[in-house]
Amino acid sequence: MLEVSFNSPQCGWMSIGFSDGVNEFHTTTAYSPHETALPDLMSILTALADGGGDQTGREGGSDEYTLKWNRDPEEFDFHFIRNGTELTINIYQYPTEERDAAERELVYSFTGPLRDVIAAFAETFHQLYEDRDTDEFESNWRQPFPFEEYEEFKAKTT
């Protein structure tokens, strides 16, 4: 069973983690330069939960998405691949912002039932939403909470 954690942001950084009982991956990510990483993640998961489709809302999308995020100077690709009712998450780390594929390293991989993976993300997104005022999300993440993407995610996954 996958557990996903996104801890309260602090000074433009957020600690995130993935654990499946066998493997774990933890890092901190920055709000910049990939300012739309968090709303894009919600949109990607919404599209995958909705049977594929493009995260921008257009028809005829994909069952494969890559989300770019960074830790500075390291960069990450969160690669999502839907295969029927299964979802694979591969997280690749690049040593620099240049994203040289020859230098990337697979640092985490998980495959499980799509509904369970979506539920794991839903739990952590819900916690971020519930704690957004207490944690002063906007000032600590240095951008607004992605309300629209969160509402779309909830509508497709509950």
Do 18 and 4 form a contact (C-beta atoms < 8 A)? yes
Look over the chain and give the mean of its residue pLDDT values, rounded to a whole number.
Answer: 92
Question: Of 60-64, 73-77, 143-147, which range is least confident?
Answer: 60-64
- Average of per-residue pLDDT across 16-45: 96
User: For helices 37-49 and 114-131, what crossing angle results, to 10°?
Assistant: 140
Q: What is the pLDDT of residue 51?
A: 78
pLDDT of residue 60: 42
0.85 cut: is pTM over it?
yes
User: How far is it, in rounded angstroms, from Cα 89 to Cα 121?
Assistant: 12
